[in-house]
Amino acid sequence: MIPIDDSPIVRDGKSLILAMDHGLEHGPVDFEDVPEKLDPSTVFETATHDAVTAMAVQKGIAEGYYPSYEDDVNLLLKLNGTSNLWMGEPDSAVNCSVDYAAELGADALGFTVYGGSNHEIEMVEEFRDAQENGREYDLPMVMWSYPRGQGLKNDTKPSTISYATRLALELGADIAKVKYPGSPDAMAHAVDCAGDMKVIMSGGSKTSDYEFLSQVEAVIDAGAKGLAVGRNVWQREDPTRLLDALEKVIYEEETADAALEA
Ligand code: FBP
């Protein structure tokens, strides 16, 4: 773990990472209700909001669109990814090198590890190469720590998520992005298992403003250091309104009620 509080992807010790790698991970289906968001520039525009500390994208999106936003948005380059077309045991192809991510202007790196998958051994070896190479550029490493695979029936149960944060700490991540383990207590335990490493929550599919903000409030109370969120922001008609509220809940530690009242 490197000290990352001075990194541009951290604001007051916390992060709000806007993720937009869904076109690869899920396919265009995530854009069906918001076809205008198929244009990545629209989501980069959203990422210029002060609450957003980085935007997470794959290499092709960074190459094509980041140059227009490099003054206003911090780039988190996701180094691996898998499409929903892949039907095998969970795995994620490394599609960008650390050297190339640095050349594209990355402020941080992202890497998925599916602990528990039959491909865990190779994924961890690939993570090692990326993590150690990233250190040469002082680039923080955010691990999408998503235990899943044929042996794991429930990938969000508390013991799985606390294993996910611990695994990320021990493998050298600087931030672990994990799914919500179902309760604030379980999140608090997952945070404890991570030692000094920051834990952030993964957004998930779109819910109501109040439901989502309440969950964010609960995980911040539980010691999480923010959020990496995609659909719950950019699938909304007015992402700015939600980001205004998230800014209050994450950085000012206001309640969801208070943030929505403003
Ligand atoms: P969401 O907030 O939309 O869930 O995005 C977070 C994220 O981790 C994305 O980076 C990624 O595309 C997606 O979720 C992967 O989720 P899953 O593997 O569970 O489908």
pLDDT per residue over 180-239, tens digit each? Answer: 999 999 999 999 999 999 999 999 999 999 999 999 999 999 999 999 999 999 999 999
CA-to-CA separations, 128 to 53, 131, 234, 253, in angstroms, rounded = 25, 5, 32, 35
Q: Is the CB of 201 under 6 A from ligand 1?
A: no
Q: What's the confidence (pLDDT) of residue 262? A: 73
**Looking at the 3D structure of the chain, how many domains does it have?**
1
pLDDT of residue 200: 98
Catalytic annotation on 177? yes
The answer to whether residue 200 is domain-embedded is: yes
**pLDDT more than 90, % of the chain:** 96
Query: Is 229 part of a structural domain of the chain?
Result: yes
Backbone angles phi, psi at 253, to 5 degrees: 55, 40
Beta carbon of 133 within 6 Å of any ligand 1 atom: no
CB distance 117 to 149 below 8 Å: yes
In a domain? residue 9: no
Q: DSSP code of 11?
A: B
Residue 255's domain comprises 15-261
The active-site residue out of 59, 177, 225, 248 is: 177
CA distance 77 to 201: 18
Asked, for residue 8, whether it belongs to a domain, the answer is no
Write down the ipTM of this complex. 0.92
The answer to whether residue 152 is domain-embedded is yes
Q: How far is the CA of 179 from the centre of ligand 1 (A)?
A: 9
Find out whether the beta carbon of 204 lies less than 6 Å from any atom of ligand 1: yes
Whether residue 62 contacts residue 44, with contact meaning beta carbons closer than 8 Å, is answered with no
- 155 occurs within a structural domain: yes
pLDDT of residue 155: 86
Domain at 185, CATH number:
3.20.20.70
Asked if the structure places residue 4 within a domain, the reply is no
**Which of 146, 62, 87 is closest to 111 using CA atoms?**
146
Low-confidence residues of the chain: pLDDT under 50 = none
d(CA 187, CA 223): 8
- Is residue 107 in contact with ligand 1, taking CB distance under 6 Å? no
| 199 DSSP β-pair partners | 176
Amino acid found at 60: G
For 143, the 3-state DSSP assignment is strand
CA 202 to centroid of ligand 1, rounded, Å:
7
